[in-house]
Amino acid sequence: MTATCREACCSVTPRHTVSALFERGFRRNRAAPLPIEGAQLTDAEGNTARFSIAVVDGRIAGIGFRVSSCATLVACCEFIAETVPGFRPEIARELTATNLVAALPGVPALKRERAMLAVAAFRAVLASLSSFEQNGEISNESRLHLRHAAP
């Protein structure tokens, strides 16, 4: 079996280049958040990321995010938002920054740390989802947790 070529030569859309992901992610970044929001995380350079998520029948139905306007970070988050829906949360939790870097060729080494922030923020929203599932609703305690990101 041969994987589909995702390069421009085969006119496959949507393309998963950083530039194309940024274009789509730029719009998603300004959209209203989905019902369950995760903690906002901040990296050493001051970039922030917060995901939101919708789950239907035990599967991730939609992913939103609100992140700093860094092109690399937006592209990383958009890749997650486009590829993870349809998976169960326990499967989605297995996504790593290494996976993300491998999936986004063309990101120079100095910018690859953005993938770590994106994945950490995505795991944070999955943690909020677990809390939501256990309590039936986001408790006040959970809301407090969401507003105070872990360092």
Partner 1 sequence: MKVAYIFATQRHNVSYVLAKMILPQLEENRHGADVVGMFFFEDNNYVLVDGNPIGARLTKVAKEKGTLLMGCDQCCYEREIADTLFPGVPIGCFPDLYKALSGNMPDQVITL
Which of 110, 136, 140, 151 touches partner 1 (CB under 8 A)? 110
CB of 18 to partner 1, least distance (A): 4
Rounded to the nearest angstrom, the gap between the alpha carbon of residue 41 and the centroid of all alpha carbons in its chain is 12
Instruction: Work out whether 105 is an interface residue with partner 1 (CB under 8 A).
Output: yes
Which of 12, 19, 59, 141 touches partner 1 (CB under 8 A)? 19
What is the distance between the alpha carbons of residues 30 and 53, in angstroms, rounded to a whole number? 15
Residue 56 has phi, psi (to 5 degrees) of -130, 125
Question: What pairing do the DSSP bridges indicate for beta strands 48-56 and 59-67?
Answer: antiparallel
Instruction: Work out whether 128 is an interface residue with partner 1 (CB under 8 A).
Output: no
Instruction: Work out whether 115 is an interface residue with partner 1 (CB under 8 A).
Output: no
β-pair partners for 41: 49
Q: Which residues of 33-55 are buried (b: 16+ CB within 10 A; e: fewer)?
A: bbebbbbbbbbeeebbbbbbbeb
Instruction: Work out whether 99 is an interface residue with partner 1 (CB under 8 A).
Output: no
Contacts to partner 1 from residues 22-81, by CB under 8 A: 22, 45-46, 69-72, 75
Binding site for partner 1 (CB under 8 A): 17-19, 22, 45-46, 69-72, 75, 105-108, 110-111
